[in-house]
Structure 1
Amino acid sequence: MLLIEESLQSLGRFKSQSLADFESSRDNFRIASFDLHQFLEAVMDIGSHVLSRIPGVRPERYKDIARLLGEHGIVPRECADGPLLKMAGYRNRMVHFDDEISIRELHGIIQNDLSDLETFSRHAKLLLAQTL
């Protein structure tokens, strides 16, 4: 959970930056990309861990983790089917097609989707409290 919280905090510092400010330093892109990737990996790890405790449930892809978390009522369906599913797909892009992710795109995620990540973080804390 600490990794998730630290990643969100780091991403949050870019929320107030305009695109021009964000683009002004290549380090901004590198830091934000790393933090988002770390966040998404941790979220998928937590989801996979929680799902592993349900007999017969074995997600094959990251998007399955998001979908199954919603199907089993572990996170609200609207969170699982919307932002979490989208971010599971984005995690795959970050890993396999990272050279195609633009500064503008990453800035847009920080500006438009950070609140969804924070919402899932709250659900993840509750999940961990219930499973530990």
Structure 2
Amino acid sequence: MVDKDILQRKLTFIDLKLRNLETLRLMERQEFLANFQFVDAAKYNLQVCIEALIDISNHVVARERWGIPGTSVDVVKLLVKHGVLNKDKELSLVQMVKFRNRIVHLYQEVDDNEIYRILQENLDDIRGFIQGVMATFIE
């Protein structure tokens, strides 16, 4: 059985970081890209959001005894398989996990324009993750 307190703390953390990202999302592309502080803030907030998403996924899979995933991608897929997350969001969440790996390990290859695009197009996918976990385990 999942520890609801752990989930709630991590979900709250993700929500706080999403608010930071949503502030950056409102910026015009040129303004955002012209200031390394905005870009770096977005990268950091995205990284820790995705890290928390992975931590939550690992917690759920372990506590619910849904198997031993080989990778962080596998753990997200297990949440989809067990109905915590919508199947239509699987690709986006898998791409987020892979993006986190790039930020951490291949940081020199992350394009600032990609960060801006993620801000514009993918924050709702993180919100969907929060909603899926909340609906399944908290509410």
Unaligned runs of 5+ in 1: none
8 Å contact kept, 2:24–2:119: yes
1:30 to 2:40 alignment: yes
Considering only aligned residues, what root-mean-square deviation do their CA atoms show, in Å?
1.5
Deviations 1:69-93 (A, max 9, x none): 11122212222x2211111111111
What is the rounded CA distance, in whole Å, between the counterparts of 2:80 and 2:62 in structure 1?
15
8 Å contact kept, 2:84–2:133: no
What is the rounded CA distance, in whole Å, between the counterparts of 2:36 and 2:124 in structure 1?
24
Structure 1 residues 56, 122: CA separation in 2 closer, same or farther (over 3 Å shift)? closer
Unaligned runs of 5+ in 2: 1-10
TM-score normalised by length of structure 2: 0.85
Deviations 1:9-50 (A, max 9, x none): 000011121210101211001111000000000000001100
Structure 1 residue aligned with 2:62:
52
- The one of 4, 8, 31 equivalent to 1:21 is 31
- The one of 91, 95, 99 equivalent to 2:100 is 91
What is the rounded CA distance, in whole Å, between the counterparts of 1:39 and 1:103 in structure 2?
18
Superposed displacement of residue 54, structure 1: 3.0
Identity %: 26
8 Å contact kept, 1:14–1:22: yes
